[in-house]
Amino acid sequence: MAELTYRDAVAAGIAQEMARDESVVFLGEDIGAAGGVFKTTLGLLERFGPRRVRDTPISEQAIIGAAMGAAMTGLRPIAEIMFSDFFAVCWDMIANEIAKTRYMTAGQIALPLVIRTANGYGSRFGAQHSQSVENWAMAIPGLKVVAPSTPLDVKGLLAAAVRDPDPVIFFEHKGLYSTKGEVPDGEIVDRLGTAKVVRQGEDVTIVALAAMVPKSLQAAERLAAEDGISATVVDVRSLVPLDTKTIFEEVRKTGRLYTVEENPRLCGWGAEIASLVAEECFYDLDGPIVRITTPHVPLPAADLLEDNAVPTVDRIVETVRRNAG
C-alpha cells in the first residue's frame, strides 16, 4: 500500500497499462520530456521511450486525429487534451467521428481509445481554462464518460478505460491533482459504470462527482454534527454508463436527493439523474429533488468569485438544512 497523489495515480495508471500491453501508446502536448503541464506523466518517456510516448504539436485536431487513426489500426492510444475547454477545438472529430464510427460500420471498426483531460475549477485560469464540461461528453451517444475523485479511482478507472473496447473520455479534476490517498500495490483494474457509496446515512442522499465529492463529505460531517442530519454521499464516478441501480437504492433508503454539480446548471448531469429518479422513485421521495450547481455563467478568474460560483461546503450545508425538514 502506498500513498499517492491524484496526479501520481494518473502516471501509475498509464504506466500499468503500457507495461501490460505494448499496443498502448500515449500522445499529447508536453507529455514526454516535460512530464505534462500538470506533471501527471513524469517518468513515462524515460520508461517507455519516444516510440510509445509522443509529444505532439499544439493541435488538438492532430492529437485526436492521430489517436483515432491509431485505434483503427489496432493500437490502444491514450490521448491527452491539456484542458477540457479545448474539446471545443476538436469536438467535430470526437462527436461526429470517434463516437459514431463503431455504429456506422456495424461494429467492423472499434475505437478502443482514451481521451484524458484536465477539467474544472480551482486554478484561477478563467473562463476559457476552468470549465467543467463532462455534460458535453455525456450528451453524445457512443462515448463513455468517467470522472474520478480519488487516487485509487484514478488508477483503477483509467486501467478499465484503456481496456474498454469503446472510446472513453476521462476527466481528471485539476483541483484534485495534489490530493492524496492510499493506493494498493500491484495491478488495479476497476469497472466502468459503477458508482460508489462513500458515506452511509439515513436522512438524505447527496450525489456528487469529482471535486464535489470531498466537499459533499465535509458537508455531510457538518450536517451530522450541527443538525443531526445523517447524509449518504454517492460518488457517481461514471456518467456513461451511469450506475442508476446504486443511486436509486440510496434514494429509496432516505427519500431525499440532492445533486452537487460543478457544471453550469443548465443541462447539467444532475438534471438527468433528477429526471431518472423522478420517474423511477417518485413514490419513495419525501420531498423535492434539489440540485446544487454552479450558475449558468462563465467561470470568473478572481479567486473569491471563482470559489463562490461553484458549490461550496457552506452552500451544500445550508441547502440541505433548509430543505430536509
What contacts 158, CB < 8 A, 6 or more positions away? Answer: 9, 10, 13, 14, 17, 114, 116, 148, 170
Catalytic annotation present for 173: no
Compute the distance between CA of residue 14 and CA of residue 156 in angstroms, rounded to an integer: 10
**SS3 at position 260:** strand
Compute the distance between CA of residue 81 and CA of residue 321 in angstroms, rounded to an integer: 39
241 prior amide bond cis, ω within 30: yes
If you compute the radius of gyration of the chain from its CA atoms, what whole number of angstroms results? Answer: 19
Burial call 190-203: b when 16+ CB within 10 Å, e when fewer: bebbbbbebbebeb
Model pLDDT for residues 36-94, shown as the tens digit of each residue: 999 999 999 999 999 999 999 999 999 999 999 999 999 999 999 999 999 999 999 99
Q: Give all strands of the β-sheet with 204-208 in edge-to-edge order.
A: 196-199, 231-235, 204-208, 257-264, 290-294
Half-sphere exposure of 275 (CA within 13 A, CB side): 6
Grid coordinates given for 90:
476538436
Q: Name the burial class of residue 146, with classes exposed (0-12), middle (13-18) and buried (19+) by CB atoms within 10 angstroms of its CB.
A: buried
Model pLDDT for residues 192-249, shown as the tens digit of each residue: 999 999 999 999 999 999 999 999 999 999 999 999 999 999 999 999 999 999 999 9
When pLDDT is averaged across residues 162-171 and rounded to a whole number, the result is 98
Residue 219's CB is within 10 A of a number of other CB atoms, namely 30
When pLDDT is averaged across residues 249-264 and rounded to a whole number, the result is 98
What contacts 151, CB < 8 A, 6 or more positions away? Answer: 4, 5, 6, 8, 9, 179, 180, 181, 182, 183
Percent of the chain with pLDDT over 70: 100
Predicted confidence at residue 204, as pLDDT, reads: 98
Angle at 140 between CA 299 and CA 190, to 5 degrees: 90
Compute the distance between CA of residue 284 and CA of residue 277 in angstroms, rounded to an integer: 9
**SS3 at position 161:** helix
When pLDDT is averaged across residues 154-162 and rounded to a whole number, the result is 98
Compute the distance between CA of residue 113 and CA of residue 177 in angstroms, rounded to an integer: 23
When pLDDT is averaged across residues 309-315 and rounded to a whole number, the result is 97
**141 touches 240 (CB < 8 A):** no
Grid coordinates given for 306:
471563482
The chain-wide mean pLDDT, for the chain, equals: 97
Q: Which amino acid is at 115?
A: I
Compute the distance between CA of residue 134 and CA of residue 194 in angstroms, rounded to an integer: 16
Query: Between β-strands 290-294 and 114-119, what pairing exists: parallel, antiparallel or unpaired?
Result: unpaired
Q: Domains of the chain by range and CATH?
A: 2-183 (3.40.50.970), 196-323 (3.40.50.920)
Predicted confidence at residue 325, as pLDDT, reads: 67
Q: Considering only 7-16, 121-130, 310-319, which range has the smallest mean pLDDT?
A: 121-130
**SS3 at position 194:** coil
Give me the catalytic one of 129, 155, 174, 215. Answer: 129
Compute the distance between CA of residue 234 and CA of residue 231 in angstroms, rounded to an integer: 10
Q: Which amino acid is at 147?
A: A
Whether the model pTM is above 0.75: yes
